[in-house]
A and B are shown apart, each in its own frame.
Chain A
Amino acid sequence: MMTEALARQHRIALTGNDAVAYAVKQANVDVISAYPITPQTFVVETLSRYVNDGELNAKFINVESEHSALSAVIGASLAGARAFTATASQGLAYMWEALYAASGLRLPIVMALAARALSAPINIHNDHSDFFGMRDAGWIMFNGEEAQETYDLTIMAFKIAEDPRVLLPVVVSYDGFIVSHAITNFYALNDDVVKEFLGVRTTGPRIDPDNPRTFGVLALQDSYFEFKRQQYEAMENSRQVIKEVFQKYEEISGRSYAPLKEYMTSDAETCIVAMGSTVGTARHAVKTLREAGEKAGVVGILQYRPWPVKEAEQLFSRFKRIIVMEKVMSPGARAGPVYEDIAATIYPKHSEVKIIDFTYGLGGRDISTRGIIEIYKKGKELIDKGKTDRVYFHGVRGE
């Protein structure tokens, strides 16, 4: 890293959850409201300590549920505050109605999601069911692979959300326990650097007694569609804004970000696609596969919404085989959500590229380097036999 960039930051060892809380403190939020839920709880626990100890001048609103948590944050954001919440699993499911209100009202809220499986049966461990459950709620969606990415994305999330061309809520997800509870070293920007990067929130809708407006109006057949179409455009606009924010962030931090993370892709014939902490394991697996002469590569998904259409087309059309690994189940669908996004991006234009979908790791079932190598080999073989017309399950007994 360049010395100038280094001078702007410090090395710190925190859990993923505490890395998020640290970023939120530095972002100098005005209002936090959340309800504890495993494995996110430590985010708000740490933030409440910051507030109590006077390290963060924010209002911490205790509520009785996640529905109320997001609702309180919506109210705060409408009042002009920089507002934050965090949740996981059932908590996110319980926010469902308010998720759409936040994006429809065009509020630059930031939420952290320590991704966890959904009931039933009850399970507190990581998969991406909660994350993908909010796919169409109109939020910008990022996924951090480890503490560094999660910290950086949380800081950048405020900048992106509050850009007047965007004004949409942003969720930063990271794997429950695997990232949320693991202590790792990472670089954090110095307080004054974040302060300068983010400034104070000046944009977005806000309640102003001198200029009274009605928010959350009833909009029926004659106007609802126009409001939603405008909201769609904001998501489209965010593509450029995200690019600019990544660029600006690189200038100050020395860390470069892209919607899709590539590893050994330049000459790869078979590519593994993954999201979250698995991406790191997949890199290791690919390294091993390369040593055995396989032309393997990895693409990790950092930015899920907006789906990076152009980047995805350019990248995925280069491969012969794409093996998608998904920690989510979409019963009754042709395949999981990531498969469908990739397929919709490259087909029918690049029909020579073959894709196969694997569900793995549900409810926190561990995925190892060996497991990914198995998926790679099986995926490659099935594609070459033309057997790609179903979803395969890795690591489930009886498959």
Chain B
Amino acid sequence: MSTTVTWREIDLGGSVAGGTSEKYKTGNWRVEKPVIDYEKCVRCLICWLYCPEPAIIRNGNEVKIDYDYCKGCGICAEECPRKAITMVPEEI
């Protein structure tokens, strides 16, 4: 949302055009970030299925965390059957 839009031209009833959540980077909400140890990862895609955002990007069977949107909930680390994901405290 641009901070220059006044009440006169703001969209009706608090509605906005689709696709705006892409512009809203939620990565800075994180306290801990998930880090994948690709040595342990067996490409089972469980983390990709479980990530509620979704902030795990899949390319074939490869998984990669999108830190722009990952909120650091830790679900992927909890669900990974290989314990390949570690939650690492964010630097302040």
Whose C-beta in chain B lies nearest to the C-beta of A207? B15
Inter-chain contact A205/B20, CB cutoff 8 Å: no
Produce 1/0 per residue, A193-235, CB < 8 A to B: 0000000000001000000111111010011011101110100
- Which of B7, B14, B19, B20 lies in contact with A104, CB distance below 8 A? B14
Interface presence of B6 (CB below 8 A)? yes
- Which residues of the other chain, B, contact A226 by a CB distance below 8 angstroms? 5-7, 10
- Which residues of the other chain, A, contact B12 by a CB distance below 8 angstroms? 106, 167, 205, 230
Inter-chain contact B13/A205, CB cutoff 8 Å: yes
Interface presence of A47 (CB below 8 A)? no
- Which residues of the other chain, A, contact B18 by a CB distance below 8 angstroms? 212-214
- Which residues of the other chain, B, contact A356 by a CB distance below 8 angstroms? none
- Which residues of the other chain, B, contact A222 by a CB distance below 8 angstroms? 1, 3
Produce 1/0 per residue, B11-34, CB < 8 A to A: 011111111110000000000000
Interface presence of A107 (CB below 8 A)? yes
Task: Count how many chain A residues have C-beta atoms less than 8 Å from C-beta atoms of the other chain.
Answer: 22
Interface presence of A105 (CB below 8 A)? yes
Task: Count how many chain B residues have C-beta atoms less than 8 Å from C-beta atoms of the other chain.
Answer: 17
Inter-chain contact A227/B13, CB cutoff 8 Å: yes
Interface presence of B8 (CB below 8 A)? yes
- Which of A107, A213, A229, A233 lies in contact with B16, CB distance below 8 A? A213
- Which of B5, B13, B17, B19 lies in contact with A107, CB distance below 8 A? B13
- Which of A215, A231, A233 lies in contact with B15, CB distance below 8 A? A215
Instruction: State A230–B15 Cα separation when bound (angstroms).
Output: 13
How close is A375's CB to chain B, nearest CB, in angstroms?
Answer: 43
Inter-chain contact A105/B14, CB cutoff 8 Å: yes
Inter-chain contact A214/B20, CB cutoff 8 Å: yes
Instruction: State A215–B16 Cα separation when bound (angstroms).
Output: 7
Inter-chain contact A213/B17, CB cutoff 8 Å: yes
Inter-chain contact A233/B7, CB cutoff 8 Å: yes
- Which residues of the other chain, A, contact B14 by a CB distance below 8 angstroms? 104-105, 215-217, 219, 227
With known contacts A205-B15, A213-B16, A217-B15, A227–B10 Cβ distance under 8 A? yes
With known contacts A214-B20, A230-B10, A223–B5 Cβ distance under 8 A? yes
Instruction: State A222–B1 Cα separation when bound (angstroms).
Output: 7
Inter-chain contact B10/A223, CB cutoff 8 Å: yes
Given A105-B13, A213-B17, output 7 extra A-B contacts at Cβ < 8 Å. Answer: A104-B13, A104-B14, A205-B12, A212-B18, A212-B19, A223-B5, A229-B7
Q: Which 9 A-B pairs have the closest CB atoms?
A: A106-B13, A212-B18, A229-B7, A226-B7, A230-B7, A105-B13, A226-B10, A223-B1, A227-B14
Contacts from B to A (Cβ < 8 Å): 1, 3, 5-8, 10, 12-21
Q: 11 A–B contact pairs at CB < 8 A?
A: A107-B13, A212-B17, A213-B15, A214-B15, A217-B14, A217-B15, A219-B14, A222-B1, A222-B3, A227-B14, A233-B7
